[in-house]
Amino acid sequence: MADLALVNRSPAEVLLLDHGSFWQPPQVLVGANQSCRSAVRDAARHWWELPDPRIADSVGTRWSRTAARTDHRRVERRLLLVLLPPGTPRPHADGPATTRVSWWPVTRLLAGEVITRPAELAAFLDGYLQGWLPDGQHALDW
């Protein structure tokens, strides 16, 4: 499983799905023999018709045990940022939604006006967009 955060840089916004008590990026199923990046790229092309989606080099990662498994294997989950190229019109809030979706300004997420999963989504987005978060994997809490 991967989460796809569609990000607009100017103004700094992210498209999130409403899950009732929290908002989170759309989830993408990752097929066998497929990378998270490939699955997210395919979803961005399909959902928002982005011809060449740019995926950021900063990745939010979570490793966890699943309650259903008894073998104690850990499952990886990734949050990848898909960046809209400058000047690209913001896609309509549709895509994989069967629930309500909305564009949220990163400033409102940082102000704590919105509960998100992962909880650190606002700081992760702000760090990437402001340039203080280095490229690479970063642990996030889902």
pLDDT, residue 78, reads 92
Distances, alpha carbon 41 to alpha carbons 19, 33, 131, in Å:
23, 15, 23
pTM of the entire predicted model: 0.85
Q: What is the pLDDT along the chain (142 residues), one digit of tens a residue?
A: 899 999 999 899 999 999 889 999 999 999 889 999 999 999 999 988 888 999 999 999 886 655 655 655 556 789 999 999 887 777 766 666 566 888 999 999 999 999 999 999 999 999 999 999 999 999 887 7
Give the pair of three-digit tokens for residue 36: 């998270």
Residues 6 or more apart whose CB falls under 8 angstroms from that of 37 comprise 55, 80
pLDDT, residue 100, reads 83
pLDDT, residue 113, reads 95
Backbone angles phi, psi at 121, to 5 degrees: -55, -45
Per-residue pLDDT of 110-119, as tens digits, reads 999 999 999 9
For the chain, give the percent of residues with pLDDT over 90: 61
